[in-house]
Structure 1
């Protein structure tokens, strides 16, 4: 059995490398992602895989690069909770930040799994001032 944290790490690596196919390979076909309210999305967001595809392309226009540094995680047979430090280098201005500046978020992300693929994801993102 594959450790689920390996799937999560592959998911983050796919995002970092801009590899949509690698990201989608981590998801179940009808997965749901919930982003709870934060500085970027005051009302939060709920996305199915189809919307994730569109948002992936939009993210690549906003960010030159991004990284996920897993700080710690907890794992059960069908659940992973991670704390990550996310850094994104901006391609466009956002708030007080100019292109080339870094946007930083401290995040906790909860992943539910079925057959070693993500079926739901809940993001709790705390962005540093921008």
Structure 2
């Protein structure tokens, strides 16, 4: 895949917005891909996930969200890395815990996405959520 890092990152966001999840997303990642999520409102301790865990989490998210959007504010290639500043918006599909159907969640993201041979090898993400209503 002779794509730039930003092209790969934007393609992943487009697939997520289109409702793709689980194994439908595997084509974007290397087999040994990882995500590092820094502490945030939803995951106070942060976390680290390998590809199977990422795909499982996307399945869970698909059941929780009726829609999601990525408003990319800036996206730059730095070598083999895409450096992204975006605003994510998700709409809750059903009541669950503190979340209510129709509730809109907003997070301001800084993501560093490492690309290897046209696929995502690592995502490091800083997700700053706005207060939950």
Alignment of 1:1-130 (within 5 A): 1-20=2-21, 21-93=23-95, 95=98, 97-130=99-132
Structure 1: distance between partners of 2:119 and 2:126? 20
Query: Number of residues paired by the alignment?
Result: 129
Gaps in structure 1 of 5+ consecutive residues: none
Cα deviation 1:36-81 (Å, max 9, x = unaligned):
1000001111100101111111101111110001000221231111
Gaps in structure 2 of 5+ consecutive residues: none
- TM-score, with length taken from structure 2: 0.90
CA RMSD across the alignment: 1.4
Structure 2: distance between partners of 1:4 and 1:13? 14
Structure 1: distance between partners of 2:108 and 2:18? 20
Structure 2: distance between partners of 1:85 and 1:3? 21
Structure 1: distance between partners of 2:15 and 2:24? 5
> What is the CA distance between 1:22 and its match in structure 2?
4.8
Cα deviation 1:59-108 (Å, max 9, x = unaligned):
0111111000100022123111100110000113453x521121000010
**Secondary structure of 1:25's partner?**
helix
Larger mean CA deviation between 17-26 and 99-108 belongs to: 17-26
